[in-house]
Amino acid sequence: MSIATKRGDGGQTGLAGGIRISKADLRVEAYGSVDELNTVLGFARSICTNKEIYDWTETIQRTLFRVGSALATPPESKKTPPVVTAEDVETLTKLVHQIEATEGILADWSLPGAHTESAAYEMARTVCRRTERAAVRLASSGVEVNSEILAYLNRLSDLIWLFGRLIEVNAGIDARLRGGETAGPKWSRAWK
């Protein structure tokens, strides 16, 4: 058996439960974006020297497999989709609060690229935001999407941003956008 089945050569793909749809479908865009996010996070983790962030990232990646699978399972599938729960979201929320309490965490925009590891997490954050938009588009199209998935992706982008800031704080790097100028409001409303 080969991975090259040729079944997708005409622009269709299989969903959980054997249902075939166009690769241009919003559902495919949503779960494909989760796959991309997981891969970018995998790269960030592969160069991360902070053991805690490394471990947190791996746990998040495992949850993202559930998120992607849930998005890839349409209601008409015979397969039951994996569940993304309020507890999954709360786990991220607690971690956000834990990192926010770190002395010196940036309260202003950051300028990506001050540190290789934090830059990798910045890339993951932007992919996470795009993934969130893809999931919202799917839900806005009338497809039922578990609301915890949307909350999870929203919280995750905040957390990934904080991973980058924590890496910089631990490395003694000041990546404030405005340098010595007055910082903006804590957790700028512009990127929420």
What pLDDT, on the 0 to 100 scale, is given for residue 1? Answer: 80
CA-angle at 124, arms to 121 and 128, nearest 5°: 135
d(CA 94, CA 59): 14
What pLDDT, on the 0 to 100 scale, is given for residue 120? Answer: 98
Structure token pair of residue 154: 């929203």
Structure token pair of residue 49: 């020297």
Which ranges of the chain would DSSP assign to H, the alpha helix?
Answer: 26-47, 51-71, 86-100, 116-140, 147-171
d(CA 101, CA 72): 36
What pLDDT, on the 0 to 100 scale, is given for residue 113? Answer: 85
What pLDDT, on the 0 to 100 scale, is given for residue 109? Answer: 75
DSSP-derived secondary structure letter, 176: B
Taking the domains of the chain in order of start, what are their residue ranges?
Answer: 19-191
What pLDDT, on the 0 to 100 scale, is given for residue 88? Answer: 98
- Count other Cβ atoms within 10 Å, centred on residue 88: 20
What pLDDT, on the 0 to 100 scale, is given for residue 192? Answer: 44
- Taking alpha carbons only, the member of 15, 26, 37, 36 closest to residue 152 is 37
User: φ, ψ for residue 106 (rounded to 5)?
Assistant: -60, 135
What 3-state DSSP class applies to 158? Answer: helix
The pTM is what? 0.86
Residues with pLDDT less than 70, the chain: 4, 6-15, 17, 21-24, 106-107, 179-192
What pLDDT, on the 0 to 100 scale, is given for residue 181? Answer: 54
Give 51-63 pLDDT, tens digit per residue. Answer: 999 999 999 999 9
The amino acid at residue 98 is Q
d(CA 48, CA 96): 18
The answer regarding whether domain 19-191 maps to CATH 1.20.1200.10 reads yes
21 membership: H or E segment, kind and range: strand 20-22
Please, are residues 176 and 106 in contact by the beta-carbon 8 Å criterion? yes
What pLDDT, on the 0 to 100 scale, is given for residue 105? Answer: 85
